[in-house]
Amino acid sequence: MAINLKDVWPQERDLMIRPERFKYVRKLIKPEGCVFCSALSKGVSLESLVVYQSENVMVVLNKYPYNNGHILILPTKHCGDINEIEEDAYNEISWLIRESFKILKESFYCEGINLGLNHGAVAGAGVPDHIHWHIIPRWSGDTNFFPLIAETKLIAQSLEDTYKLLKPKFETLKERS
């Protein structure tokens, strides 16, 4: 039995449109090469959204965050399969995930954190050829009707402000690694 949306949500709705995200989702924006390898080549900078980079791994702000502080952790070597990650890089990713939790809790006072990996295109990976983990700060009540009904999320902090907040904290990891 098909569900008629008007039966579930009969009122007229206002639409919030973010054309750049739509183009990305619909693959109308087709970056040349890998977006993560491109960011890697630019190094740690606001332009690349890279807040941390070592020989094996990097941390990048998600350009289309689900919440403030949404980061991605990935190996610097281009690979799409978890079994292709070199042992040193995998160990550093594990360490960096734990350290990122500490940094996000300290920076955003979040009450919880989602950690996710979409392994392959059919699992939902937007960039399936360069494996990456999503780390997303969460707060009580941070989900409202927008993401559920309108597929829209309001983000209260700019990527620039998030970058300025997180970059110095990730820089301290260089001293401890």
What is d(CA 3, CA 5) in angstroms, rounded to the nearest whole number? 6
The predicted pLDDT at position 155 comes to 75
- What is the pLDDT of the chain when averaged over all its residues? 84
CATH, range 43-176:
3.30.428.10
What is d(CA 72, CA 69) in angstroms, rounded to the nearest whole number? 10
For residue range 20-42, list pLDDT tens digits in order.
555 555 555 566 789 999 999 99
Catalytic residue among 70, 78, 130, 132: 132
pLDDT reading at 164 higher than 70: yes
Whole-model pTM over 0.85: no
pLDDT reading at 16 higher than 50: no
The predicted pLDDT at position 153 comes to 62
Cβ within 8 Å of residue 140, ≥6 positions away: 111
**Rg for the chain, CA atoms, rounded:** 18
What 3-state DSSP class applies to 71?
Answer: strand
pLDDT band for 144, please (50, 70, 90 cuts): low
Task: Say how many Å lie between the first and final Cα of the chain, rounded.
Answer: 56
Instruction: Show the DSSP H helices in 43-112 as ranges.
Output: 87-108
Q: Check if 78 is active-site.
A: no
Cβ within 8 Å of residue 164, ≥6 positions away: none
What is d(CA 36, CA 131) in angstroms, rounded to the nearest whole number? 10
The predicted pLDDT at position 142 comes to 81
The predicted pLDDT at position 96 comes to 98
Using alpha carbons, select from 167, 54, 39 the residue that is nearest to residue 103.
Answer: 167
The predicted pLDDT at position 91 comes to 98
Q: In the chain, what are the domain boundaries?
A: 43-176
The predicted pLDDT at position 4 comes to 55
Residue 165 CA to chain centroid, in angstroms?
16
pLDDT band for 2, please (50, 70, 90 cuts): low
What is d(CA 109, CA 44) in angstroms, rounded to the nearest whole number? 24
The predicted pLDDT at position 77 comes to 97
The predicted pLDDT at position 111 comes to 95
For residue range 44-72, list pLDDT tens digits in order.
999 999 999 999 999 999 998 988 999 99
Q: How many residues does the chain have?
A: 177
